[in-house]
Amino acid sequence: MAIVVNKPIPEFDANATGGIKVSNTSHLGHVLVMYFYPKDNTPGCTTEAMQFRDHYKDFEKAGATVFGVSRDNMKSHDEFKAKLELPFELIADTEEKMCHMFGVVKNKIMYGKKVKGIERSTFLIGADGILKAEWRGLKVPGHVEDVLKAVKALKKAA
């Protein structure tokens, strides 16, 4: 089932760092920001994670919980989180269930070869479990600030 803006997100269950279980209902009552990224410890993904880290207090103040999601395993996530001192949890989607559900798996050309990869994307889910906004195929510079503006606008509207 594809996700659609202004519709509830489909059912899912996932494990995150810190022993946290995340599902479509685990954070009802809280705004969720879920950003999907290709791989731990790569330049763009490191920059994006650091920008979410640096704005984390602003997201918290606006009432949002942030999760990073990639296909990396928990060990990789734990190391990435510790190295960058990330204050938020990372979801290990090693079987790509969430990646497919959110439609972020794309064919890419890397070094002249077709590969299946994750399209950098962010999803804003309201406290009611409804998808409020999505950013797909995005570039890292300025993105976190755009998401924060949308979270603040959502808080203001509530």
Catalytic residues, by residue number, are: 45
Report the distance separating Cα 154 and Cα 132, nearest Å: 8
> Looking at residue 12, what DSSP letter applies?
-
For residue 134, report the phi and psi dihedrals to the nearest 5 degrees: -145, 145
Report the distance separating Cα 59 and Cα 4, nearest Å: 23
The dihedral through the CA atoms of 70, 17, 141, 146 has a sign that is: positive
